[in-house]
Amino acid sequence: MDFTKMHGCGNDYVYIDCFKQDVEAPELLARTLSDRHKGVGGDGVILICPSETADAKMRMFNADGSEGRMCGNGVRCVAEYLFRHGYASGTAADVETLSGVKHIVRREPGLLTVDMGAPELAPEKIPVTGFAKPVVNELVEVNGGAVRMTCVSMGNPHCVVYVPDTAGLNLPVLGGAMEHSKWFPEGVNTEFIQILDETHLKMRVWERGSGETMACGTGACAAVVASVLNGHCKKDTDVDVLLLGGTLTIRYTGDTVLMTGNAVEVFTGTVEV
C-alpha cells in the first residue's frame, strides 16, 4: 500500500489515496500504521476518497482506531494533496467530511485557509450533559479539583480550560480525566489555554483517542471561539494560537470560523499490510 506522510503544525497523519487503491479494515490499519515504533508513526490515518458532492471525501481515524468526524489540520493536508496530485485545480477545493463539506482556499503552496463553519454551542449538539444552556466558564470538579470549562463543537466536541501556564501541566492526567468524565458521553478534546494577550493564545491539547498531539486545528478554533465568548479576544480579529507544533491563525467572525495554517508533505512510501 502506498502512503504519504503529511502534517499540519506537527499534527501528523498517514494519508492514503483511495482514488487509486482500496482500504479494508481502516480501524485496524490506523492502529497498526500509527504506532511510532512498529509502524509508520502518526496521530492516525486519513483516507482521501472519491466524493459525489466535493473534490474528495476525508475519512479520519485516530491512533486507537476510532473514526473522528473532523480534523482541521487533516483537512488542510487533504486539500494540499488534491492540489499537488491534480485532483483539484485553481486555488479552491471542497472536501467532504462527516461534519459537512469544507471549503479550502490555497493562499500559496503549503498555506491554506479553511472555512470551518459556525461553532455549535448547544449542549446537546456537542454533546455535553448536565447543562440546559451553553456551557461558558462553568465551574466543574475533575480529578479532585475544580476547573472552569467552556464547551464548543467544531464538528467534534471540545472543552476549553484556561490555565496560568501550559508548560507544567500533567496532561495525561487532566486530559484523560476530562475525556472520560461524566459530562461527555462521546468523549471530548480538551484545550488548555494560556492567555498571552488578546491576539495570542498558547495551547496544549489532549485529543480523544490519540492523547496529547502537537496541534489540533478544530481545537484551536474552539479555543478562539471560547476566548471571544469569555471576553479574552475580539470577534472578527485574527488570533494566533501557539501550539507545540507551530502556529495557527484563527478568525471567528461571529458567523463562521476561518483557520489558516500550513500543510506539509514529509515523505512518501510503501508499506506491506
Domains and CATH numbers, the chain: 2-114+261-270 (3.10.310.10), 123-255 (3.10.310.10)
Strand partners, 120: 153
62: annotated binding-site residue? Answer: yes
Dist CA 36 CA 40 (whole Å): 6
Residue 182 CB coordination number (10 Å): 9
Q: Are 92 and 79 in contact (CB under 8 A)?
A: no
Per-residue pLDDT band at 120 (split at 50, 70, 90): very high
CB-based contacts of 160: which residues, under 8 Å, 6+ apart? Answer: 149, 150, 151, 152, 190, 191, 193, 222, 223, 226, 227
137 annotated ligand-binding residue: no
Active centre residues (catalytic): 71, 216
pLDDT at 236: 98
Q: Is 156 annotated for ligand binding?
A: yes
* Alpha helix ranges (H) inside 17-137: 26-34, 72-84
Q: What is the pLDDT of residues 43-101, one digit of tens each?
A: 999 999 999 999 999 999 999 999 999 999 999 999 999 999 999 999 999 999 999 99
**Averaged pLDDT, 176-185:** 94
Average pLDDT, the chain: 97
Q: What is the torsional sign of CA 265, 266, 269, 272?
A: negative
Question: Is residue 11 annotated as involved in ligand binding?
Answer: yes
All 3 cell numbers of residue 68? 473522528
Q: What percent of the chain has pLDDT over 70?
A: 100
Kindly report, residue by residue over 224-273, the tens digit of the pLDDT. 999 999 999 999 999 999 999 999 999 999 999 999 999 999 999 999 98
Spatial distance between the Cα atoms of 201 and 228, rounded to a whole number of angstroms? 12
Question: What pTM does this model have?
Answer: 0.94
Burial class (CB in 10 A: 0-12, 13-18, 19+), 73: buried
Annotated binding-site residue? 262: no
Q: Is position 218 annotated in a ligand binding site?
A: yes
DSSP E strands in the chain: the ranges are 2-8, 11-17, 44-49, 56-62, 67-68, 92-97, 100-108, 111-115, 138-142, 145-153, 157-162, 189-197, 200-207, 211-213, 239-243, 246-252, 257-262, 264-270
Answer yes or no: is 96 a known binding residue.
no
Q: Are strands 2-8 and 264-270 parallel, antiparallel or unpaired?
A: antiparallel
Check the annotation: does 198 bind a ligand.
no
Helix (H, G, I), strand (E, B) or coil at 75: helix
The pLDDT-based confidence of 145 (bands split at 50, 70, 90) is confident
Question: And the C-alpha cell for 89?
Answer: 485545480
Backbone angles phi, psi at 269, to 5 degrees: -170, 180
Confirm or deny that 207 is annotated as ligand binding: yes
Encode burial over 18-42: b for 16+ CB neighbours within 10 A, e otherwise: beeeebeebeebbbbbbeeeebbeb
Alpha carbon distance 50, 23 (integer Å) = 13
Per-residue pLDDT, 101: 97
Instruction: Report whether pLDDT(147) > 90.
Output: yes
Answer whether 96's CB lies under 8 Å from 241's CB.
Answer: no
Residue 144 is predicted with a pLDDT of 80
